[in-house]
Structure 1
Amino acid sequence: MAVSFAPSKTSKSACRCRLRSTDGCPRRHAVGTPLCLPVCARATRPQLPYTEAVLQETLRLFPPLPFLMREAKEDVDLGEGRVAPKGSTLVLHVHSMQTSGDLYPHPERFMPERFLPDTKAALGPSDANAYAPFGVGARMCVGYKLANFVAKAVLVRIYQRFRVALHPQQRLPLRMKTGLSRAPADGVWVTLHPRQPAGSAPPAAK
């Protein structure tokens, strides 16, 4: 139960945070696939590089894990003359790391290009370990692949069928609440407009 519950909460939070950024990302590229293409098919996944980048950037700005805790197995040099002795409990604030100007160019901007192959070197993190929305190492969240897949499938289906816009009542900046995971405190308000099927004529004016 716990294994299936955790990815579902993460997927829901990621989808809501992604929809909050809907005004700043082209829908055509976010979907990146024809309307008839089955999202869940294995062959479809490599065809969605921008969708994957959008999801990764959303998880960078709105990581589901508020912090990581580790026990130091040896003395750790923290820099500036500070040392965490062996046996210390180290706490890493994930959001602060993933929005640090020392690690990311323009850290507060929503830029999926950070995670595209052609632009990752220039816009991505200066240290590969600076991106850890699901943790790192042997204790990384075991459900992260499922959470990513569910979030991607849901977002693509939404954008395939609707044009999405922020609702006028949506509060910005997004206020987050922290518990076992991070999620929008007030939800995310959007307006959905059904897409016109390809090849069909718009309804006649009355």
Structure 2
Amino acid sequence: MRNMVLSSQRLDLFHLLIVSVFKVFIILILDLSSIAYSASVDPNIEWKVIETEHFKIIYDSQLHSVARLYAWQAERAHSFLEPIFKEHPSKTHVLISDSTDFANGSARFLPYPQITVFPVMPGDLDSLGHYDNWAAELMIHEYTHILAFEPSHGFYTPFRYLFGSLVHPTGLLPSWWHEGLAVEMETRFT
């Protein structure tokens, strides 16, 4: 009987190890996909940077007024969300990429907290077509993702010290939780 319990525990540990290795592999593959995306960016763009207290806005020099708008909306999002989340990165990079007609954005935490914004307004028939202030909604939504990745204290403190932003407690939560939280925040503050 004791041998069956031990072998069951070994199987559980083996299963946990396999699942963990698979998750790390998937994260690496998804992050490597950004390399393929970088090939779609015009190499002749003259990049500029606007630095605010909490953000570094990186943009094509032709999009200066758009970059100023998103810099303002980013700081505004921070003022709404900081009291809720308490912990935030020292700087979040915001890349404004006008390389697609896709109205959306994305957030990632590797190798540093970064939001990519596509400054395109959603179309009337788009599922995102019902908005009040698109730039505000997008920045609040994506910055919520960044802040949800950020907290790491208690048990996670030594792991965060050793592995940096690769380790975060909310990384094991399902995607519906992350998206639901971001939609809740954008709805609450817009």
TM-score by length of 2: 0.27
Using CA pairs under 8 Å that are at least 6 residues apart, name the structure with larger relative contact order, 1 or 2: 1
TM-score by length of 1: 0.25
